[in-house]
Structures are given as C-alpha cells and as structure tokens.
Amino acid sequence: MVRILLVAPPGAGKGTQGALIATHFSIPHIATGDLLRDHVARDTRLGRAVRDRLSRGELVPDEIVLDMVSVAIAEAKANDGGYVLDGMPRNIAQARALYEIGRSLDMTANVALHLKADDEELVRRLLARAALEGRSDDTEPVIRRRLALYHEVTHPIVGWYASRGILVSVDAVRPVERVARQILTALEAMRPLVDHVPEHARRSIDLTGLGAAFGQS
C-alpha cells in the first residue's frame, strides 16, 4: 500500500494533490493544517491553544501534531494501510518522531513527495486564495514568514528522504492536472515495488526535468 509524505512549501499544492492522490488510491488524506483549523473553527481547547500560532504562520508544538498524526496513522493501519500525510513532517525532529511512530506500527512511509515551486509563484497563489477563502494566515507578511520557515526548518528534510531513497520530486509550477498526472504515473509505476523492495535498496527519483515525457507541451 502506498504511504506518502508530502513535503512542500506553502501553496505548492499539498492540499490539492493530496486530495487527488487519496481519491486515486482510496487512502485517507491526513492534513495536519486542516485538522488544526478544524479545532480552531470548533473552538476546542486545542483550537484555542494553537489559533494565534496559526495566524502568525508559526509552527505549533511538535507533540500536538505528533499526537494527532499517531491516531490517524493507527486508524489508517486498521483500514487498508495506506495514507497520504500532508503538512508533516515540518522539521527534523518531527521527521524522526514520525519514523519511530511508523516503525512501531509497521507503517513507515514508502514515498516522500516533494513539490517544487518558486516563492513568487507561491505568494501569488496564496494571495489569490486569500480573496476566496480568507484563511487567517494568507496575508502577505504571514505568507512570507511561512515561506521563510519552510526554507529554514522544513526543506532540509528533503535531503534526508533522498538519502533514504524514497524521494520523488515534481515540478509543481504547471497546471494542476499536469502535476497530478505526473505524480500518479510515478506512484503507479512504483506501486508494485513499494511493498517488495527493502528500504536500503530504494533510490530517489527526480522527475523535475521530465515534464516532456509526461505530455507537457
């Protein structure tokens, strides 16, 4: 079963592509940001504790997201065993903790999917979304803070997944359907392998330059 981590900057399309992947493989889409915003909307104790951090674009404490995600992964295990995790890990400590959780449940990720896009495109997308959805963190200064934090603490984990041999990188500055087609093609091609290739034998795949091979004009 495919177990995917989406590691990508704000606005790169984690939510958009995560939903398409989840539908395609009939696996749960576990989105930490959505879970947190749901708590804020319901005004739960946890929601009140994280609301200001979300609005400022700061990360919430690791334990909070790790608790939420352990429960969700245990649920995924009880079902078909696949998942697409959107928005986590966000730093090296979360990456390690998540790996331990995965090991304890025999549910470690077999693909880390990285969506590449430049900052100016990301700012444009998020400001466009702000007009439609009104997310509290979609203001230009907070978007820039989220991007800076991504570059500083999140992006370094991409290299860690490359060295583990589970990284798939995709150019996300193309229409949604093109990005989706490339991702699903890569994941389908890997599907027979993910359960049978031992972790140490996996190699990372960089699809950034392969747009033409997937029908990009």
Applying CB under 6 A, which residues contact ligand AP5? 8, 10-16, 32-33, 36, 53-54, 57-60, 65, 87-88, 90, 94, 125-126, 129, 137, 146, 172, 175-176, 179
Which of the stretches 11-19, 45-53, 102-110, 152-160 binds Mg ion when contact is defined by CB under 5 A? 11-19
For the bound state, the minimum distance from the C-beta of residue 76 to ligand AP5, rounded and expressed in Å, comes to 17
Looking at the Cβ atoms of 33 and 82, the one nearer to ligand AP5 is 33
Looking at the Cβ atoms of 15 and 47, the one nearer to ligand AP5 is 15
Picking from 48, 41, 54, the residue whose alpha carbon sits closest to that of residue 146 is 54
Taking CB under 5 A as the rule, does residue 15 contact Mg ion?
A: yes
Please give the angle made by the CA atoms of 99, 103 and 106, to the nearest 5 degrees: 130
Q: Which of Mg ion, ligand AP5, none is residue 57 near (CB under 5 to 8 Å by kind)?
A: ligand AP5
Looking at the Cβ atoms of 15 and 81, the one nearer to ligand AP5 is 15
Q: Name the 3-class secondary structure at 205.
A: strand
Start-to-end C-alpha separation, the chain: 32
Cα dist. 37→31, 32, 40, 85, 155 in Å?
10, 9, 5, 16, 23
Q: How far is CA 64 from the centre of its chain?
A: 17
Q: Which of Mg ion, ligand AP5, none is residue 171 near (CB under 5 to 8 Å by kind)?
A: none
Please check whether residue 145 is in contact with residue 57, taking contact to mean a CB–CB distance below 8 angstroms: yes
For the bound state, the minimum distance from the C-beta of residue 72 to ligand AP5, rounded and expressed in Å, comes to 12
For the bound state, the minimum distance from the C-beta of residue 55 to ligand AP5, rounded and expressed in Å, comes to 9
Burial annotation 136-161 (CB, 10 A radius, 16+ → b, else e):
ebbeeebbbbbbebbeebbeebbebb
The site for Mg ion (CB under 5 A) is made up of: 14-15
